[in-house]
């Protein structure tokens, strides 16, 4: 035992959830490694090596720094509930327990957020580190700790770090995790002590993956090389307010907009507020305009900055962004979530029910960590009695409930980022006709298998990092970027800088602890106001029967010349942000008359009724409206909703695009009997995407081919799948060359991030074009024996043919053997060595596949990218249903398990249940926790 970590029970330290089969599995592991890697290598990977890092979950451990004993009670799934008599003991124990289960994951995360991955994984990560150092997440986190956070939050962060370090004390890498044992063959890396800043930095990674419309901003600019303004507008249609309702339909914004209209103001007006406490007020400006300005680069939602050189520049930027390691999502692509709350008047219990399932990229272990934090006696000195989901590496609970309230989160998608072109000179950058010097700093990147590298980071005076410094291509194409005559001489070219709310110090960590102890709606709103980055939709319910919604966050306002949709000219101050929306002017609802609130990344408010533009790039409301319809169908004629009804809604597999297209597809005449046989699968299909459904498999293949033929083959190479090559019209700096010259272009994006991805934006695109059956979008050339198409029906027929033979190649000619689950599979991969490590390590660390139901833009959102294939890209990363009438009857599930140790019984013990849509009991009260406890560990001073 390491110093200060001594077992004092008479029995040997017990391990959680030991199974009879574990020893056999470990022996098999050793034999496999011995065969593959050689006898000496296999001998090193002994049973003791594999088991060395498993946590002690019974008995007693002494930890210096505790003021009193702490009980850690784990249930049969290894989920811990912690009981302490002081708040600092509670969070110190949280740090110790999370490190027991997940320290390797925590260590990788902090190296990512600080731009130090090269220290662990070598020179392959230098480019990532350069980019992350340029963003400077850890520097901002340090400023938050030093200048923004409350004294109590800093105490909790310090206590948490103390607990993590108590776990680390005296341990070698192999004693912490199997991954460290693997790293030791090529790297003498030793984990360093945990710091409070390491915990804060993770919120920056979370904010990066939930950063709003930055990818749409890039994509629209990239499209200008091949598509005209109207074509781009076709691909970014207006939000269908008349069909898919926004979140807030009755609420605070109504009075605000009434005053706004009475004043005669317009969307381009400006007003100035008084700067106050961070997170509650600030300087406000007018809403975004709806069109770009007339000087500098063109900036609008349809045309954007023009020129092939600029297109290439932004393509280079995308490549840099694409290489940033995934934190909690698919690098901003496809991020979504469901959360809804139903008033007690519509529930069986008479009290509210609240459901949440955030949609994030699949990882192993899951991004979430389940636990409970309980003060033995709740008081002002120890105010916590809370349970739910948090991140390993961060104290507190992010989503869950306490004894009084419950809350859920979905990404709001508001526009909190802007890209700026900068006229860079030898002495700085141009701003309103004058050259300003950059702020600079040096960053030294240590490399595990090579020499250290020093980079210079440049920032504008208002703190925007110059991202183009991190990619040579950006420098070269910046010399050729096409802008209009009002722009400054290109000289050495244009750079690209980023303005992002998360690059300002904030108070989100304060918000976490305030949410955890909030006792009512007022305290909840006050707590939420401190959650400045990332901006989230928060739904609320309490044991008194109230429900609510609030949109917190630091959300910028822009002048009338700037709508935030494409990169702006940085040399003109009028394109800079004008301020931030005051917290008391952000939308919320409390106890709406309709009796429920749904948030699923749809528009927050109707744009006609709200004076500020939050974004033009909402999700299109397919999931949210389906959830609302399910609720309405359940409560009509006096029906009531149960906890299990909420669970069943989470599993709804209905395809809204299938409802639109299948009637049309069934009317198409097909000559090939094999294709007609596949077409017949759609007859009588109920549009649900069960894993065993052959109809779902065929329809999704047809949908994928419709998108490819109508749109995908017409997009620029920067948006298409890497390696997929086409002969396309030649283009030059002015656009397509009209001389029938063809060139071969190959796609440049990873398959899980290419376009068209098939989400509900594309549902809306196709819905609008179905009224235009002769649109140019429906035209596609002949390919081999496949016929050309000039109308919608002809393209649909071609897609049905292509889909039949695609599935024949993938699943076999016999359609009786087809199923959606054979195509739509989930693989869980360790995000470091399980992705890029030796094959034997990938075999050890990864799990799967699971055949899944659900699909893109369904409530059961097992997302897939139609441009790249059918495999599962992102998932409901957890599911929960909170019963406010009896909190012990709440239910929850995680994607993987509590443990990050590859051969722990709790590594993926929840995954099969998750895949089936099952939920686990969620004990909260002391009596319920005791009843469900399997192992108890006492931490004593």
859-877: per-residue pLDDT in tens? Answer: 999 999 999 999 999 999 9
Higher-confidence position of 524 and 278: 524
Query: Hey, which residues does 405 pair with through a beta bridge?
Result: 542
Query: Hey, which residues does 24 pair with through a beta bridge?
Result: none
CA atoms of 105 and 99, how far apart (whole Å): 9
With a cut of 60, say whether residue 6 has pLDDT above it.
no
pLDDT of residue 225: 80
In the DSSP assignment, the letter for residue 279 is T
pLDDT of residue 877: 95
Cβ 855 vs Cβ 658: under 8 Å: no
**Residue 516 binned pLDDT confidence (cut-offs 50, 70, 90):** very high
Query: Hey, which residues does 390 pair with through a beta bridge?
Result: 369
For 387, the enclosing helix (H) or strand (E) is strand 385-390
Among residues 243, 234, 124, 317, the alpha carbon closest in space to that of 770 is found at: 234
Higher-confidence position of 431 and 34: 431
Cβ 400 vs Cβ 386: under 8 Å: yes
pLDDT of residue 539: 98
With a cut of 70, say whether residue 112 has pLDDT above it.
yes
Q: Which residues contact 903 (CB under 8 A, 6 or more apart)?
A: 22, 25, 26, 29, 50, 51, 178
Two structure tokens written together for 675 = 């294709």
What are 437-478's pLDDT values in tens digits?
999 999 999 999 889 999 999 999 999 999 888 864 344 334
Two structure tokens written together for 405 = 């309230």
Provide the angle, in degrees to the nearest 10, between the axes of the packed helices 760-769 and 622-635: 90
User: From the CB of residue 476, how many other CB atoms can be counted at a distance below 10 Å?
Assistant: 14
Two structure tokens written together for 282 = 């600030």
Among residues 631, 681, 687, 694, the alpha carbon closest in space to that of 655 is found at: 687
- Percent of all residues in the chain with a pLDDT value above 90, rounded to a whole number: 66
The DSSP annotation for 28-83 comes to HHHHHHHHHH-HHHHHHS-HHHHHTTPPB-SEEEE-TT-SS-EEEEEETT--EEEE
Separation of first and last alpha carbons in the chain: 16
Q: Mean pLDDT, to the nearest integer, of 82-105?
A: 98
**Residue 480 binned pLDDT confidence (cut-offs 50, 70, 90):** very low
- Cis (ω within 30 of 0) for the bond into 534? yes
With a cut of 60, say whether residue 888 has pLDDT above it.
yes
Higher-confidence position of 336 and 700: 700
With a cut of 90, say whether residue 857 has pLDDT above it.
yes
Cβ 327 vs Cβ 209: under 8 Å: yes
User: From the CB of residue 916, how many other CB atoms can be counted at a distance below 10 Å?
Assistant: 13
Q: Which residues contact 378 (CB under 8 A, 6 or more apart)?
A: 384, 385, 403
Alpha helices in 80-171 (DSSP H): 87-113, 117-121, 126-135, 137-143, 151-168
With a cut of 70, say whether residue 327 has pLDDT above it.
no
Cβ 5 vs Cβ 63: under 8 Å: yes
With a cut of 50, say whether residue 655 has pLDDT above it.
yes
Cβ 707 vs Cβ 758: under 8 Å: yes
With a cut of 90, say whether residue 183 has pLDDT above it.
no
- Percent of all residues in the chain with a pLDDT value above 70, rounded to a whole number: 82
Measured in residues, the chain has a length of 941
| Secondary structure of 386-453 in HEC code, one letter for each residue | EEEEECCCCCCCCEEEECCEEEEEEECCCCCEEEEEEEEECCEEEECCEEECCEEEEEEECCCCCCCE
In the DSSP assignment, the letter for residue 537 is E
Two structure tokens written together for 631 = 């609720």
Alpha helices in 680-778 (DSSP H): 694-710, 760-769
Averaged confidence pLDDT in the chain: 85
Q: Mean pLDDT, to the nearest integer, of 62-75?
A: 97
User: From the CB of residue 463, how many other CB atoms can be counted at a distance below 10 Å?
Assistant: 15
What are 341-383's pLDDT values in tens digits?
999 999 999 999 999 999 988 989 999 999 999 999 999 999 9
Two structure tokens written together for 195 = 């710091």
With a cut of 80, say whether residue 679 has pLDDT above it.
yes
Cβ 560 vs Cβ 574: under 8 Å: no
pLDDT of residue 235: 97
Cβ 580 vs Cβ 557: under 8 Å: yes
Cα angle 318-308-498, degrees, rounded to a multiple of 5: 35
Among residues 870, 600, 755, the alpha carbon closest in space to that of 862 is found at: 870
CA atoms of 602 and 600, how far apart (whole Å): 6
With a cut of 60, say whether residue 48 has pLDDT above it.
yes
**Residue 204 binned pLDDT confidence (cut-offs 50, 70, 90):** confident
pLDDT of residue 218: 76
pLDDT of residue 313: 52
pLDDT of residue 514: 98
Q: Mean pLDDT, to the nearest integer, of 426-441?
A: 95
What are 745-775's pLDDT values in tens digits?
899 888 888 999 999 999 999 999 999 999 9
**Residue 16 binned pLDDT confidence (cut-offs 50, 70, 90):** very low
**Residue 320 binned pLDDT confidence (cut-offs 50, 70, 90):** low
pLDDT of residue 449: 80
Q: Mean pLDDT, to the nearest integer, of 881-907?
A: 97
Q: Mean pLDDT, to the nearest integer, of 550-574?
A: 86
**Residue 45 binned pLDDT confidence (cut-offs 50, 70, 90):** low
Q: Which residues contact 736 (CB under 8 A, 6 or more apart)?
A: 226, 729, 730
CA atoms of 346 and 637, how far apart (whole Å): 11
Higher-confidence position of 15 and 632: 632
Two structure tokens written together for 75 = 């249930």
CA atoms of 344 and 197, how far apart (whole Å): 41
Two structure tokens written together for 163 = 């607990």
pLDDT of residue 51: 73
**Residue 237 binned pLDDT confidence (cut-offs 50, 70, 90):** very high
With a cut of 60, say whether residue 731 has pLDDT above it.
yes
Name the one residue in this structure whose structure tokens are 């300087």: 283
In the DSSP assignment, the letter for residue 390 is E
Cβ 555 vs Cβ 581: under 8 Å: yes
What are 700-729's pLDDT values in tens digits?
999 999 999 999 999 999 889 998 999 888
Cα angle 922-547-522, degrees, rounded to a multiple of 5: 105
Cβ 557 vs Cβ 288: under 8 Å: yes
The DSSP annotation for 226-274 comes to T--HHHHHHHSPPP-TTTS--S-SSSHHHHHHHHHHHTT--TT------
With a cut of 50, say whether residue 39 has pLDDT above it.
no
pLDDT of residue 254: 54
With a cut of 90, say whether residue 922 has pLDDT above it.
yes
Name the one residue in this structure whose structure tokens are 């002590």: 193
CA atoms of 906 and 632, how far apart (whole Å): 38
Two structure tokens written together for 419 = 């890209």
pLDDT of residue 208: 79
Cβ 477 vs Cβ 309: under 8 Å: yes
For 199, the enclosing helix (H) or strand (E) is helix 196-209
CA atoms of 603 and 242, how far apart (whole Å): 12
Listed range (210-219, 439-448, 674-683) with the worst mean pLDDT: 210-219
**Residue 832 binned pLDDT confidence (cut-offs 50, 70, 90):** confident
pLDDT of residue 213: 74
CA atoms of 241 and 48, how far apart (whole Å): 61
Higher-confidence position of 301 and 608: 608
Cβ 72 vs Cβ 82: under 8 Å: yes
Two structure tokens written together for 458 = 């440049």
pLDDT of residue 173: 87
**Residue 854 binned pLDDT confidence (cut-offs 50, 70, 90):** very high
Among residues 421, 537, 472, 395, the alpha carbon closest in space to that of 98 is found at: 395
CA atoms of 866 and 724, how far apart (whole Å): 14
pLDDT of residue 321: 57
Higher-confidence position of 181 and 366: 366
With a cut of 90, say whether residue 324 has pLDDT above it.
no
CA Rg, the chain, in Å?
28
């Amino acid at each position: 035992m390491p110093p200060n970590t001594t077992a004092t029970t008479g029995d040997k330290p017990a391990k959680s959830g030991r199974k009879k089969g574990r020893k056999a599995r470990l022996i098999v592991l050793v034999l496999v490694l011995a065969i593959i890697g050689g006898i000496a290598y296999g001998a090193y990977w002994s049973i003791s090596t594999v088991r060395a890092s498993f946590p002690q979950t019974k008995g007693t451990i002494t930890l210096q720094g505790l003021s009193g004993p702490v009980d850690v009670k784990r249930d049969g799934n290894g989920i811990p509930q912690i009981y302490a008599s002081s708040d600092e003991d509670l969070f110190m124990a949280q740090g110790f327990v999370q490190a027991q289960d997940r320290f390797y994951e925590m260590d990788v995360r902090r190296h990512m957020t600080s731009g130090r991955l090269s220290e662990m994984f070598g020179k392959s990560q230098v480019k990532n580190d350069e980019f992350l150092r340029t963003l400077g997440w850890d520097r901002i986190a340090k400023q938050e700790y030093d200048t923004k956070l409350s004294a109590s939050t800093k105490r909790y962060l310090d206590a948490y770090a103390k607990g993590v370090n108590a776990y680390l004390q005296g341990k070698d890498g192999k004693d912490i995790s199997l991954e460290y044992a693997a790293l030791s063959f090529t790297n003498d890396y030793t984990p360093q002590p945990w710091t409070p800043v390491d915990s804060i930095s993770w919120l920056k990674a979370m904010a990066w993956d939930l950063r709003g419309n930055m990818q749409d901003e890039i994509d629209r600019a990239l499209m200008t090389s091949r598509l005209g303004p109207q074509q781009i507008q076709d691909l970014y249609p207006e939000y269908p307010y008349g069909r898919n309702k926004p979140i807030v339909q009755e609420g605070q914004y109504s009075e605000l907009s009434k005053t706004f209209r009475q004043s005669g103001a317009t969307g381009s007006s400006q007003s100035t507020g008084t700067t106050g406490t961070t997170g509650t007020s600030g300087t406000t400006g007018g809403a975004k305009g709806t069109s770009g300005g007339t000087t500098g680069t063109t900036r609008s939602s349809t045309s954007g900055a023009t020129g092939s050189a600029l297109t290439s520049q932004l393509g280079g930027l995308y490549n840099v962004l694409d290489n940033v390691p995934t934190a909690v999502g698919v690098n901003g692509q496809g991020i979504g979530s469901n959360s809804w709350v139903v008033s007690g008047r519509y529930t069986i219990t008479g009290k509210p029910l609240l459901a949440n399932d955030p949609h994030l990229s699949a990882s192993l272990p899951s991004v979430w960590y389940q636990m409970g934090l309980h003060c033995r006696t709740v008081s002002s000195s120890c105010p916590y009695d809370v349970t739910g989901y948090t991140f390993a590496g961060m104290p507190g609970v992010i989503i869950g409930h306490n004894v009084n309230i419950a809350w859920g989160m979905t990404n709001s998608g508001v526009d909190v980022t802007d890209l700026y072109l900068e006229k860079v000179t030898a002495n700085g950058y141009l701003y309103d006709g004058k050259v300003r010097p950059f702020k600079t700093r040096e960053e030294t990147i240590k490399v595990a298998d090579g020499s250290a590298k020093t980079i210079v980071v440049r920032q504008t005076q208002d703190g925007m990092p110059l991202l183009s410094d991190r990619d040579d291509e950006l420098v070269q194409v910046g010399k050729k970027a096409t802008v209009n005559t009002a722009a400054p001489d290109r000289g050495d070219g244009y750079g690209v800088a980023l303005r992002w709310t998360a690059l300002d110090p904030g108070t989100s960590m304060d918000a976490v602890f305030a949410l955890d102890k909030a006792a009512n709606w007022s305290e909840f709103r006050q707590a939420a106001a401190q959650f400045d980055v990332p901006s989230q939709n928060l739904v609320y319910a309490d044991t008194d029967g109230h429900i609510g919604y609030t949109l917190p966050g630091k959300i910028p306002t822009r002048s009338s010349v700037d709508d935030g949709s494409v990169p702006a000219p940085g040399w003109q101050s009028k394109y800079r942000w004008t301020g931030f929306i005051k917290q008391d002017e952000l939308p919320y609802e409390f106890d709406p008359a309709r009796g429920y609130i749904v948030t699923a990344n749809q528009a927050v408010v109707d744009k006609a009724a709200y004076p500020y533009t939050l974004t033009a790039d909402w999700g299109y409301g397919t999931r949210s409206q389906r959830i609302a319809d399910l609720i309405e169908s359940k409560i009509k004629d006096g029906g009531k909703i149960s906890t299990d009804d909420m669970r069943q809604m989470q599993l709804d597999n209905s395809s809204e695009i299938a409802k639109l297209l299948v009637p049309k597809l069934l009317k198409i005449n097909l000559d090939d009997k094999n294709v007609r046989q596949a077409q017949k699968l759609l007859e009588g299909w109920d549009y649900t995407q069960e894993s065993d459904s052959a109809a779902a498999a065929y329809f999704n293949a047809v949908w994928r081919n419709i998108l490819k033929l109508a749109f995908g083959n017409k997009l620029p190479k920067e948006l298409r799948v890497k390696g997929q090559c086409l002969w396309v019209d030649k283009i030059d700096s002015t656009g397509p060359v009209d001389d029938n010259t063809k060139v071969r272009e190959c796609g440049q994006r990873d398959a899980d991030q290419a376009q068209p991805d098939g989400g509900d934006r594309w549902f809306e695109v196709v819905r609008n074009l179905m009224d235009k059956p002769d649109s140019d979008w429906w035209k596609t050339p002949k390919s081999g024996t496949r016929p050309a198409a000039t109308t919608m029906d002809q393209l649909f027929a071609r897609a049905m043919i292509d889909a039949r033979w695609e599935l024949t190649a993938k699943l076999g000619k016999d359609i009786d053997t087809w199923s959606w689950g054979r195509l739509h599979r989930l693989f869980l991969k360790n995000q470091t060595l399980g992705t890029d490590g030796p094959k034997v390590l990938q075999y050890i660390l990864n799990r799967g596949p699971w055949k899944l139901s659900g699909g893109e833009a369904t409530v059961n959102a097992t997302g897939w990218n139609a441009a790249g294939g059918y495999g599962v890209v992102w998932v409901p990363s957890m599911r929960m249903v909170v019963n406010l009438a009896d909190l012990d009857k709440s239910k929850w599930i995680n994607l993987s398990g509590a443990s990050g140790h590859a051969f722990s019984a709790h590594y993926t013990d929840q995954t099969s249940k998750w895949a089936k849509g099952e939920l686990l009991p969620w004990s909260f009260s002391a009596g319920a926790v005791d009843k469900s406890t399997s192992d108890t560990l006492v931490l004593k001073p």
